[in-house]
Amino acid sequence: MKLPVDYSSAAELLTNVFDNIDSAQMKKTNSVVNAWKNIVSKIKPDGEKLAAHSRIIDLKNNILLVETDHPGWTQLLQMRRSYILKGLKLQFPDLEISTIGFKLKGDNFETTDSQKKPSFESMDKVITERVKDSDKYTKKYIKNDNVNKKQEINPELQKCLDKLRNSILTNH
């Protein structure tokens, strides 16, 4: 028994795809990408190469994420970050870009707030262990009676230190 198959024409599929795309948002995205290329390409002496080896990936949480294909390009872009950021802010103040994040092609980069944060319980456990270690050290130190022992200093050294102290006190 054959089941009925519901086919759509290619034109219908393309129409559905393009209906879901916000053309204003697409134009804005294209203008940001073009602005990136224009701003970066003006950097002397390697602006054209910087633009060719970098591309905008995302804008999330006011962070513009840029991908490069080599760590050297990332470093050069980081050195010019303030210049690039200023240019983008002048052209697109409504985007409120606060910084530029760089990633190497193939690496992961998280721009959400979902980065792992230590829990209160784990922090409490670490603090408790450190306090216990501190208590052990303190008890050991007191037990050895090292707290109140005054170490003897060579008399000649003591004289030199006294002279130095007096000199400091009288000169200041």
Alpha-carbon distances, residue 66 vs 43, 55, 102, 108, 109 (angstroms): 16, 6, 5, 12, 10
Cβ partners under 8 Å of residue 92, min gap 6: 31, 32, 35
Residue 83 has pLDDT above 90, yes or no: yes
Residue position matching structure tokens 């697409």: 26
Each domain of the chain, given as residue ranges in start order, spans 20-104, 120-171
pLDDT digits (tens, 9 = 90+) for 16-55: 766 767 777 778 888 899 999 999 999 998 899 999 999 9
CATH class of the region 20-104: alpha beta
**Whole-model pTM?**
0.53
**pLDDT tens digits for 134-148?**
777 677 666 655 555
